[in-house]
Amino acid sequence: MPTHTIGQIAQRVKGSLVGPDHLTIHAVDQLNAAVEGCISFIRDNRHAKQWARSKATAALVSAGVELEPGAGRALVRVDDADVGLAVVLEMFSPPAPKPEGGVHPSATVDATARVGPDAAIGPGCVIGKGVTIGEGCVLHANVCVMDDAVVGPGCELFPGVVVYRLCELGSGVIVHANAVIGADGFGYRPAPDRSGLVKIPQIGTVKIGNDVEIGAGACIDRGKFSATVIGDGTKIDNLCHIAHNCRIGKGCVLAAQVGLSGSVVVGDGVAIGGQVGVADHFTVGDGAQLAAQAGVICDVPAGATWFGTPAHDLRATLREAVALRRLPDLIKTLKKTSTQDG
């Protein structure tokens, strides 16, 4: 990793340095694992208590945290330590491995495909008929882009990604390993004679906006008709499933193992915690937040914070949980009162 002085780091994060500016930083780590020469971060006063025991040389500190660096150590005060940490991690991040520019000899590119200037097509990639690969795209090993799909400029597709026919990715999209864009939606109906299931053709597409990031192993199904849509700037974690004809707005965050059933509509700026499930055809309003493992079986109002299964207003759900825990004691009290009255 590269090394930087704490003074250089403070300048980069636009923070206020408390302590000597010449201290050399060579790594980033959490407070309880950091050693001399590491920088860490402290987001609140609760974590500030660990500073005295930590061996870190320096730390980013959020506004409002009451802390002094101590001898031979330094603090960089910033508005938000988590945001500052993102800048610091970029400073220490090694260059990501990328295939060389051009088409690798082992890749298969159809003669009708259009590959933009400076694009890099890695080993084992398969590019189908009529595909468009934008300028500056990076396709790592064994990516498959099927017929008539469009990959916009500046996209990066990691090993094993599959983009099905006719799907469209905007500019600057990042798709991590083994994600699948545009597989058939899960559409079946019982056969008229009840002999089995009839598969419903899925003839729609997937349209992904600009600056979207999709995690490893995520699956975004094509629409039954029209398109499954992911809005600009949305970030989707590993192992999420977005079913056919879902529409996700701009700037949303979906944590790992979220599952959206068919035709779910998610507004702009929505935050969805891990393992949340949303039943088909419901709407999650703009700015709503769904806590981890929530099970949504109705529309969620804009700006609401819901929790539980079935999901409901967070405060109401927590009150119900507290009341439920008190129920055994309440029953004992009632039985005792009933016995005394008898």
- H, E, C per residue of 157-202: ECCCCEECCCCEECCCCEECCCCEEEECCCCEEECCCCCCEEECCC
Q: Are 159 and 142 in contact (CB under 8 A)?
A: yes
Nearby residues of 47 by Cβ (< 8 Å), 6 or more positions away: 31
DSSP 225: S
Amino acid at the residue 41: F
Verify whether residue 244 is a known catalytic residue: yes
| CA gap 199, 136 in Å, rounded | 39
Q: Are 183 and 163 in contact (CB under 8 A)?
A: no
- The angle that helices 81-92 and 6-13 make with each other, rounded to 10 degrees, is 120
Nearby residues of 318 by Cβ (< 8 Å), 6 or more positions away: 307
| CA gap 284, 339 in Å, rounded | 50
List the pLDDT tens digit at each of the 342 positions of the chain: 789 999 999 999 999 999 999 999 999 999 999 999 999 999 999 999 999 999 999 999 999 999 999 999 999 999 999 999 999 999 999 887 888 889 999 999 999 999 998 999 999 999 999 999 999 999 999 999 999 999 999 999 999 999 999 999 999 999 999 999 999 999 999 999 999 999 999 999 999 999 999 999 999 999 999 999 999 999 999 999 999 999 999 999 999 999 999 999 999 999 999 999 999 999 999 999 999 999 999 999 999 999 999 999 988 888 887 888 888 888 888 877 777 665
CATH numbers and ranges of domains, the chain: 4-92 (3.40.1390.10), 164-314 (2.160.10.10)
pTM over 0.85: yes
DSSP 325: H
The reported pLDDT for the residue numbered 317 is 80
Provide the b/e sequence for 234-256 (b: ≥16 CB within 10 Å). Answer: bbbbbbbbbbbbbbbbbbbbbbb
Calculate the CA 198 to chain-centre distance: 34
Stated length of the chain: 342
The reported pLDDT for the residue numbered 341 is 65
Provide the b/e sequence for 185-214 (b: ≥16 CB within 10 Å). Answer: bebeeeeeeeeeeeeeebebbbbbbbbbbb
Q: If we measure between CA atoms, which residue out of 154, 146, 149 comes closest to residue 119?
A: 154
Strand 227-230 and strand 188-190: the pairing is: unpaired
Q: Are 264 and 278 in contact (CB under 8 A)?
A: yes
Q: Are 206 and 162 in contact (CB under 8 A)?
A: no
Catalytic residue (choose from 241, 244, 281, 312): 244
